[in-house]
A and B are shown apart, each in its own frame.
Chain A
């Protein structure tokens, strides 16, 4: 096998870009799992929804001339689109929780999982049937430049993704650690009933979780749409699976673990795609997932949980 190490810095840059996106999506899985002990199978569709909402708002808002005339206008335009798309995806997440998961809160564990698969099918096919079955280009109104750091070339798009994801990760971390609502979330994930007895409104905390998680997933989806330049109805499946792997690597239920896992997986994948084979690129994450679950099911930062009676 021929290994050319001179491309390593480039792979690291690519890895950080991917990692940022995976970390954002992984947080959604981990937040929901931490609170409801449920894998939100429909989370990959939040990624997809974010990209579609981004496209929708961009096409609406770019008709306002003020926002496209100047460089500042374009920056404001994208920030607005980003906020709107993220919030809309969050609302979709809350709706799925309200209608698909809340009725099943006390049901056996298989039930919400099957319901989540149903939501995933529903959203994916809604996008397929009512929007488009082929990929739609995601317009970029600014020119992507790239500059060199050492031997690696970094595009403004990559930089944007890395910065945006780091900012969002920091915001979430502060929110959960410092605010009262964050405290309520942590309490709910520790013991839902006890938290309820202490005056935490469990339903609103869960709804909030289902806003934040999907919103972050949607943010990653929109960034991915901008990065790859197109959106498609099934674009969420593979990143969703990989981000789930990232959440498991870090220890599912653990926020910083998900962030760490996202970046680790991004680096591994970029390096593996660069040095091993692109055909099996998507398999690597699945293999890592299986290996981690077998040898360290608690993940890197998670505690090992003993099955309670």
Chain B
């Protein structure tokens, strides 16, 4: 029955490796926009937009990570932000230790702490994922959502209560970044491209760091998706029992998804901490988790271009509307207050969006082909086959004559 649709695997892979002309143009335009956009904003002296671009980048990284868990493995994680927080706090705290070891914030080595601690922070995220996943991944999907939510809250409350005397409670770690990263004028790890008219600002530098991390994430995740593990995720997501029967170790497969997703959370966390230079528990609350879930759902679960678009829309739109209201372009149409109101309405809109999306387009804006198939209620292959079998059996049955 399926044979009509399946092409030889080699042919399919070959097709996916070569890009069509349209795709080449599209990628080129995207690359120019991603690299050139913020450079342009900076050159016209608009530092705020550069900041927004970097922020969108952080959310892209987070939603790419969560997409592994929700999109590929089909596990709803409502406490994803805990891994983000873990990366941030571990990064900053280890940064302080590192700085102490190399001889204070003014030493030449101190500026490298982010690069050295990137991997420990990623590991901290992954280990937290592993530690949480080991007991809870045996639970069914909806229980898992609640337990991860609970875990996220536990982490936030622990941070807020100055856990082990390390986290400085609700006040956060004040401007730690400023201590860790050498001040302007000191020897700095990144390029000084500044001219009289153009400053290669801190935000711009971090923007490019974040873009590189996103590219790395996309590369790794694409490779994973096509690997044995990626196929195991799909099998498990579609039917756990059948996947287990086919020899997939469910626990191991889920744990891989969980900790690989958490790893990107950790990376995003340390990057955010070193970029902003200040972290507090309130940055890692439940709403942030929900926001990242929204990004994945809106863009399309399991689809890399989808989640990037979702993150860009959800993280960027309110800020851009608020910004436009102050610019001459829209200030006649929209007052600053109205624009702020639009920003305030975003959670309301996202809530409505999640309901509408689930009812009308559960596969998201740019769906992953496979996921779309699962989500839009086509009668499953098994059911079709069963029906065909039943018909076949009953046709051949000759009416019994008594």
Contact = CB atoms under 8 A, between A and B. Distances in A.
A39 B345 contact: no
A297 B143 contact: yes
Nearest to A118: B354
B309 to A, nearest CB: 18
Interface stretch (B54-62, B101-109, B152-160, B209-217): B152-160
Interface in B320-353: 344-345, 347-348, 350-353
B285 to A, nearest CB: 11
Given A113-B145, A115-B354, A309-B241, A121 B348 contact: yes
Contacts of B385: none
A279 B161 contact: yes
Given A100-B355, A121-B290, A241 B150 contact: yes
B139 interface: yes
B353 A244 contact: no
Contact of B297 (A114, A279, A307): A114
Interface in B264-294: 286, 290, 293
Contacts of A112: 358
A120 B138 CA distance: 27
Contact of B351 (A107, A118, A286, A287): A118
B347 A106 contact: no
Nearest to B359: A103
B374 A108 contact: yes
A307 B358 contact: no
Contacts of A258: none
A122 B352 contact: yes
Contacts of A172: none
A109 interface: yes
B85 interface: no
A152 to B, nearest CB: 29
* Main SS at interface, chain B: helix
A100 B352 CA distance: 10
A290 interface: yes
Contacts of A297: 139, 143
Interface in B65-124: 70, 74, 76, 78
B151 A114 contact: no
B143 A293 contact: yes
B348 A119 contact: no
A125 B157 contact: no
B76 A110 contact: yes
B345 A290 contact: no
B351 A125 contact: yes
A283 interface: yes
Interface string B373-388: 0110100000000000
A112 B296 CA distance: 16
Contacts of A115: 354-355, 358-359
Contacts of B367: none
A303 B347 CA distance: 38
Contacts of A100: 355, 358-359
Given A39-B145, A107-B377, A283-B153, A118 B353 contact: yes
Interface in A291-309: 293-294, 297, 307, 309
Contacts of A120: 351
Contact of A241 (B135, B153, B354): B153
A244 B146 contact: yes
Most buried by B among A111, A120, A282, A297: A111
A197 interface: no
Interface string B153-195: 1100110010000000000000000000000000000000000
B313 interface: no
B393 interface: no
Contacts, number: 125
Contacts of A285: 150
Indicate the member of A114, A244, A280 with the most B CB atoms within 10 Å. A114
A114 B76 contact: yes
Contact of A294 (B70, B136, B140, B374): B136
Contacts of A129: 344-345, 348
A104 B293 CA distance: 19
Nearest to B162: A279
A115 B355 CA distance: 4
Given A108-B374, A114-B354, A122-B352, A290 B157 contact: no
Contacts of A280: 157, 161
Nearest to A37: B142
Interface string B349-374: 01111110011001000000000001
A117 B293 contact: yes
Interface in A147-163: none
Nearest to B344: A129
B142 A283 contact: no
A249 to B, nearest CB: 13
B149 interface: yes
Name the residue in B150, B241, B350 with the highest tally of chain A Cβ atoms < 10 Å from its Cβ.
Answer: B150
B355 A109 contact: no
Contact of B375 (A107, A279, A293): A107
B147 interface: yes
B217 to A, nearest CB: 23
A170 interface: no
Contacts of A111: 358, 362, 375
B240 interface: yes
B45 interface: no
B90 to A, nearest CB: 20
B355 A125 contact: no
B36 interface: no
B146 A289 contact: yes
A217 to B, nearest CB: 16
A175 interface: no
Given A107-B377, A109-B141, 16 more contacts: A39-B142, A39-B143, A104-B359, A106-B377, A110-B70, A110-B74, A110-B76, A110-B141, A113-B141, A115-B354, A117-B351, A121-B347, A126-B348, A241-B150, A287-B154, A294-B138
24 contacts: A39-B145, A100-B359, A106-B377, A110-B70, A110-B141, A114-B76, A115-B354, A118-B350, A118-B352, A121-B290, A122-B352, A129-B345, A237-B286, A241-B149, A245-B150, A286-B153, A286-B154, A287-B154, A289-B146, A294-B135, A294-B138, A297-B139, A297-B143, A307-B140
Ranked 10 nearest A-B pairs via Cβ: A118-B354, A121-B351, A122-B351, A286-B150, A125-B348, A118-B355, A115-B358, A103-B359, A125-B347, A279-B161
